[in-house]
Structure 1
Amino acid sequence: MQTDSTNICERVGRSQELSESKRGPVIGCHMCNKSIRDISWLLNIPRSTVRGIITKWKQLGTTATQPPSGRPRKITERGQCMLKCTVHRSHQLSAESIAKDLQTSCGLQISTTTVCTDLHGMGFHG
């Protein structure tokens, strides 16, 4: 029988990260000269996750979650939905008029280039 704390593989999906309290024991075991395989077996965490935690700790000196790289998106998911609805309502609008419409209706400050790029990403061409 596995306890709640050891059955991490079933509870954590690929997109979720291990909490800070779960990463501490990995580093503790590593400092006690345990192998990656032993740590993985003891804590019931995949070896690749253990390796990643140890590598991050060696390189950065911390196991804390770092901010994502790259520039944040200019338009949110809600803004993309509004953009899609605007295009569905009237297919003949230019990117400039769509940008102005979104600015007046919802206060989104986006350029015509952003409108074109997002529409292209959604599958609208031309």
Structure 2
Amino acid sequence: MGSSKQLPSALKIKMIDAHKAGEGYKKIAKRFQVAVSSVRNVIKKWQFTGTVEVKLRSGRPRKFSERTVRRIARKANHNPHFTAVDLRTLTPQTLSQQSAAMGSSKQLPSTLKINMIDAHKAGEGYKKIAKRFQVAVSSVRNVIKKWQLTGTVEVKLRSGRPRKLSERTVRIIARKANENPRLTAKDLQEDLADSGVVVHCSTVQRHLHKYDSVKSHQKKTFPVSSPQNSVSEVCKGTSKQA
């Protein structure tokens, strides 16, 4: 359920001042539109600790918010083919606030970053630079802070193996799978190999499972008819006709 909403420190101080002036709990609660128990807790804490500030709580903070958990549950219900690994890539905490399926945020061109640095050297502020180049103020701040720290605006190579299939390639094989449900992962793998992309069948299957539009098709099975069963069926048919 999470912790209860904290009252602002300024409001707590006003409640303390009202208590010092001789007002009671109920009168203070009615005046500031809060619960009597909240007034009591604030005053008791101030009397015990001498402050109204909230101390840092012990223990590791939660990695998942309630909103993120609801999002994961909704994705799992919408696509039963999702595994825990697939769902892990949907959480913003694990991949720098962006899902792996969506890819990283769009990078600003290096020339634009250099122009922003030149404007900063000329004495322009963050807001003025952001308005001039039509970008967010946070983007301007990040570019300038990185330049001050590293002396460059170039993006460093990230660690980890790069993705073998781009989003465009995955969309293409997903469209092929929907147009021809008889295609197997092996067929799609061979099509990719012809275009110069060499991947394993499991890679193709894993990416297709992430697409809600791709429906899984199971091979139809029929009962095995042995020669003995065939003879018995024929005998039953002749006896019914007689």
Q: TM-score range by the shorter chain?
A: 0.5 to 0.7
**What is aligned with 1:100?**
190
Q: RMSD of the TM alignment (CA)? A: 3.2
Runs of at least 5 residues in structure 2 that lack an aligned partner in the other structure: 1-104, 217-242
**What is aligned with 2:17?**
none
Aligned mates of 1:86, 1:58 — CA distance in 2: 48
Aligned mates of 1:94, 1:83 — CA distance in 2: 11
Deviation at 1:108, TM superposition (A): 2.6
CA contact (8 A) 1:23 1:63 kept: no
Out of 130, 147, 162, which is 1:72 matched to? 162
**What is aligned with 2:205?**
116
Deviation at 1:40, TM superposition (A): 2.2
What residue identity is the alignment partner of 1:95?
A
What residue identity is the alignment partner of 2:195?
C
Q: Percent identity?
A: 25
Deviation at 1:67, TM superposition (A): 4.5
**What is aligned with 1:39?**
125
**2:125 counterpart SS class:** helix
For structure 1, which segment, 65-74 or 53-62, has the greater mean C-alpha deviation from structure 2 after superposition?
A: 65-74
Alignment of 1:50 with 2:179, yes or no, is no
Deviations 1:1-42 (A, max 9, x none): xxxxxxxxxxxxx9462613322224415xxxx6xxx61244
Out of 11, 17, 28, which is 2:121 matched to? 28
**What is aligned with 2:108?**
17
Q: What's the TM-score once normalised by structure 1's chain length?
A: 0.58
Q: What's the TM-score once normalised by structure 2's chain length?
A: 0.35
Between 1 and 2, higher relative CO (CA 8 Å, sep ≥ 6) is seen in: 1
What residue identity is the alignment partner of 1:72?
P
**What is aligned with 2:176?**
86
Aligned residues: 105
Aligned mates of 2:161, 2:149 — CA distance in 1: 23
**1:122 counterpart SS class:** coil
